[in-house]
Structure 1
């Protein structure tokens, strides 16, 4: 898959060293995470599925080489969850849980192989999800543009000469706040926190 030169994440990953690339991809998954944990957590009997997803998310934030294990196992755990295991994508809020899982799955494949094409797929799924979220909510907010802006901000901070440990923590906090806004828009339309991306 060719890198979309309009996507700051894909362009960055082509040139980035291993650890900054891993952080950028983890930040992408973090922004999607609550679109999984929110709808699925509200479904009875799914606590173990939420915990499984969060364990994979924590692994994505940890440094390490491209390696078959544990990433093959993490990808398999995600694929076994109902939203990805089903023949059809679920409807309603759980469709966005499926999108979040797809982003996390391709992030695991990126960590397993080090191949940028997997991260590019993760990024494409996330952008598609932002488009469909705005259609679903019907509020006209350009969440695709907001996602691209957040990617540019991540890339700028990861490209600077800085302590990657500190930058990683800052990106994770910002992406969690963004994810909270997205799930609020999905589950309680009209209650999304005001302000631009990253606030």
Structure 2
């Protein structure tokens, strides 16, 4: 994966601030898969609330690192990340897993500041989109995710806290997340 390697090398040379925005951006594109697929499940309301709160915190560059460790611990208790002898095979389970995994690594990066956690977040997003491409006639999601990661990692405007740039980035990522959720829902209807 050429762009995956490019992103990995580039992330290692970025400031913590830039990488924090990168993981928030990655997670934003994935969070709607969890909220959209499980939001109507009354048994998961607390989990959905946790995910929404965490995603909001990921965009807050002043949020303290220790608050993210609490979210990592919380996500570790989600059924998607609990050890199981059974392979995840249902559509909702697969994409909620990748959503939670990307959020976990985004939160772990904010707690630890370790670039390896940011790379794992990016990898979870790519893997989830690769899985989606395998199940759809058009295979565009994986390449699109790679392009978005490259665009974000190379955005020079992210070095300064610019609320207008962050707002546009967040809206772009939300729109992408909505399209992904729509593609998954369309797949489920077949």
TM-score range, shorter chain: 0.7 to 0.9
| Greater relative contact order, per chain length (Cα 8 Å cut-off, separation 6+) | 2
TM-score, with structure 1 as normaliser: 0.83
> Distance between the aligned counterparts of 1:135 and 1:5, measured in 2?
19
The 3 A distance-change label for structure 1 pair 123 and 161 is closer
Q: Distance in 1 between matches of 2:105 and 2:52?
A: 15
Contact 2:15 2:159 in 1 (8 A): no
**Counterpart for residue 194 of structure 1:** none
Separation in 2 of the partners of 1:160 and 1:64?
A: 15
Q: Is the 8 A contact 1:130 1:143 kept in 2?
A: yes
Q: CA distance change for structure 1 residues 76 and 89 in 2, over 3 Å: closer, same or farther? A: farther
- Please list every run of 5 or more consecutive structure 1 residues that lacks an aligned counterpart in the other structure: 192-199
1:99 aligns with 2:98: yes
Equivalent residue, structure 2, for 1:74: 71
**Structure 2 residue ranges without an equivalent (≥5):** none
**Equivalent in 8, 13, 21 of residue 23 of structure 1:** 21
1:173 to 153, 171, 182: 171
Shift of 1:122: 1.1
Q: Corresponding residue for 2:107?
A: 108
Alpha-carbon contact 1:20-1:164 (below 8 Å) kept: no
